[in-house]
Amino acid sequence: MIKSTTRKSVQKKGLEVICGSMFSGKTKLLIKKIKHFQDNNCNVKVFKPAIDIRYGNEKIVSHDKSEICAIPIKKSEDIITESKSSDIIAIDEAQFFDKDIIEVCKNLSEKKLVIIAGLDMDYLGNGFGPMPRLIKIANQITKLHATCDVCGGKACHTYRKSTDDNKILLGGKDNYLALCKKCFIKNMNKDV
């Protein structure tokens, strides 16, 4: 069968949120969705916060090393300008964007499909940046879980191993563990 090279029009619009702890597969699922739409000849624009340079400036990479090109963004408003010609907008690490990302996503989702991925909670177990509001206004929410690094249960928390108390500390398994609620509470009480 020959694949059509004409661009399909995407009828779907709205805001889809993929959330969960670190190591739960948020970026992996986002990349899978992006590739699906690209394979169906949709114009997808992919964005990431400019501060996230863990795997390079212009790509998003999952922990299993799946990757895709992305446009680094400093201010949420820039997504509007950069996405004019797109059918679908994908945003990774949404928790790192300024609060304007909420209005940007709200406005864009009235005309296009916007899919975002991000941590729903920070390392203290509190809502992370704009994510709680984005979850509130989403048309669809996918909550993913990792495997607890202590007991093997269903992890929903990200636990920071270091004593660095900056709100944002980029890293992977070197700085963070995925923990279930019970192991998270136990470790947080140990740290007090």
Q: What is the pLDDT of residue 5?
A: 43
- Asked whether residue 170 is domain-assigned, the answer is no
26-51 burial, b at 16+ Cβ within 10 Å, e below that, comes to: bbbbbbebbeebeeeebebbbbbbee
Q: Give residue for tokens 């400019």.
A: 50
- Asked whether residue 110 is domain-assigned, the answer is yes
CA dihedral 98, 101, 103, 109 (to 10 degrees): 180
Q: Which residue has the higher pLDDT, 166 or 192?
A: 166
Does 14 have pLDDT greater than 70? yes
Q: What's the pLDDT tens digit per position in 92-101?
A: 999 999 999 9
- Asked whether residue 165 is domain-assigned, the answer is no
Does 37 have pLDDT greater than 70? yes
Q: Active-site positions?
A: 93
Q: Output Rg (C-alpha) for the chain, integer angstroms.
A: 17
- Asked whether residue 186 is domain-assigned, the answer is no
Give the mean pLDDT of 111-138. 96
- Asked whether residue 5 is domain-assigned, the answer is no
- Asked whether residue 38 is domain-assigned, the answer is yes
Domain span at residue 75 reads 14-145
Q: What is the pLDDT of residue 3?
A: 45
Q: What's the pLDDT tens digit per position in 150-180?
A: 999 999 999 988 776 766 766 666 788 999 9
- Asked whether residue 118 is domain-assigned, the answer is yes
Give the mean pLDDT of 143-150. 97
Tell me which amino acid residue 123 is.
Answer: Y
Number of H helices, E strands in the chain: 5, 12
Q: What's the pLDDT tens digit per position in 182-191?
A: 999 999 888 6
Structural domains in the chain (count): 1
Does 27 have pLDDT greater than 80? yes
State the chain's mean pLDDT as an integer.
89
| CATH number of domain containing 94 | 3.40.50.300
Q: Give the C-alpha separation, 46 to 68, whole Å.
A: 8
pTM: 0.88
- Asked whether residue 122 is domain-assigned, the answer is yes
Q: What is the pLDDT of residue 7?
A: 45
